[in-house]
Amino acid sequence: MKDISLGQFYPADSFTHKMDPRAKLVLVIAFIVMAFLAKNFLSYFAVLICVVSATLVSRIPIMKVLKSIKAIIFILVFTGILNLLFYNGETVLWQWWRIKISVEGIIFSVKMVLRLVLLVMGTTLLTYTTTPTAITDGMESLMKPLKYIKVPVHDIAVIMSIALRFIPIISEEVDKIMMAQKARGAAFDNGGLLKRAKALLPVLIPLFVSAFRRAEELALALDARCYNATPNRTRYKVMKFTWRDLVGLLGTAAFIVLVVALNNNFWGAYASPASVWWLFSV
């Protein structure tokens, strides 16, 4: 069985895996901005190239990435259809009551779906190449400046770390309790919604009781290990910004510039697009 505390992490020895988690977090944010900047199909294509090359560099099998898209397929279909039917376009192809399919609507919904797909591909790349622990460490480090406005950055990081640590423990416990209740004849997977929710009650109550007991002992354990003993706490793990991170940042910056340029048809470099170009530049 896979260790669920590792989340989606896909172990591999790649360029991206070796990058500083802080750089990766920044890159993901830059990527999200990039995906929202893209206006026409050409710039969308540039974003796609960016994600695909990042995926290749990360040595993540393409099937894995497609699987993460499958997870949001419902949202994709829903957004696509809604935009298609209700977009208020000029060139109407078909209309019935409030529902109207237009050329602009088609283009808009295709772009919308494309953007969502790109966003998911880009952001899951972070969770595929970085362990949750490393993400937490990276966030703590990036949020450090917030200390000056009295945000308890370190406490938040400890809370996240403990949460990650306890997810597998609690989920194991849920399994155990459910097993015990099943042995006493509880049924969790038949009956209506209400009945099933009711059946979960005997699982939730012991779960909460045990969670509080754990919290009590954990609080003592934190104290026993001198939590908050000194404001000058040291860090054992150090994150290093290396040439890889610089390459990643420069590459992403280049793509952002490209996207903006494509959005503006390179500021008139090809002022009258051929008919093929038209399709891409809408």
Partner 1 sequence: MSMQGKDPENFTIGQNDANGETDCVTDVGTPLIKADGVTYSYRNGEQVSRGVTDVSLSINRGEFVVILGRNGSGKSTLAKLLNGFLVPDEGIVTVRGIDTADDDKIFEVRSVVGMVFQNPDNQMVASVIESDVAFGPENLGVPREEIEERITDALETVGMEKYRKGSPNKLSGGQKQRIAIAAILAMRPEVVILDESTAMLDPKGRREIMDTVLKLKREKGMAVVLITHYMDEAIAADRIHIMNDGGIIASGSPAEVFGNEDAVRRAGLELPVAAKISLDLKKAGLDIGFALTDEELAEEICALK
Residue 2 lies near partner 1 (rule: CB under 8 A):
no
Residue 238 lies near partner 1 (rule: CB under 8 A):
yes
Binding test (CB under 8 A) with partner 1, winner from 63, 224, 271, 276: 224
Nearer to partner 1, 83 or 133 (CB): 133
**Least distance (Å) between residue 105 CB and partner 1:** 47
Tokens at 165, concatenated = 């640590």
Residue 275 lies near partner 1 (rule: CB under 8 A):
no
Residue 129 lies near partner 1 (rule: CB under 8 A):
no
Residue 184 lies near partner 1 (rule: CB under 8 A):
no
Binding test (CB under 8 A) with partner 1, winner from 49, 187, 235, 257: 235
Binding test (CB under 8 A) with partner 1, winner from 82, 218, 257, 279: 218
Residues 6+ apart with CB under 8 A from 153: 140, 143, 144, 146, 147
115 CA to centre of own chain:
14
Residue 132 lies near partner 1 (rule: CB under 8 A):
yes
**Least distance (Å) between residue 181 CB and partner 1:** 21
**Least distance (Å) between residue 96 CB and partner 1:** 55
Residue 233 lies near partner 1 (rule: CB under 8 A):
yes
Go through 30-43 and write b for each residue having 16 or more CB atoms within 10 A of its CB, e for each that does not.
bbeebbeebbbbbb
Picking from 147, 131, 146, 114, the residue whose alpha carbon sits closest to that of residue 43 is 114
**Least distance (Å) between residue 20 CB and partner 1:** 17
Binding test (CB under 8 A) with partner 1, winner from 36, 62, 88, 223: 223
Binding test (CB under 8 A) with partner 1, winner from 49, 180, 222, 254: 222
Residue 147 lies near partner 1 (rule: CB under 8 A):
no
DSSP state of 4: G
Specify the DSSP element, H or E, that contains 101.
Answer: strand 99-102
Question: Would you call 8 helix, strand, or coil by DSSP?
Answer: coil
Picking from 149, 130, 148, 129, the residue whose alpha carbon sits closest to that of residue 139 is 130
Residues 6+ apart with CB under 8 A from 130: 9, 17, 21, 24, 138
154 CA to centre of own chain:
23
Measured between alpha carbons, how far is 135 from 8 in angstroms, rounded to an integer? 12
Residue 169 lies near partner 1 (rule: CB under 8 A):
yes
Q: How many residues bind partner 1 (CB under 8 A)?
A: 35
Nearer to partner 1, 144 or 233 (CB): 233
Measured CA angle at 131 (ends 128, 132), to 5 deg: 110
Under the rule (CB under 8 A), what is the footprint of partner 1? 3, 5-6, 131-133, 158, 161-162, 164-165, 168-169, 214, 217-218, 220-238
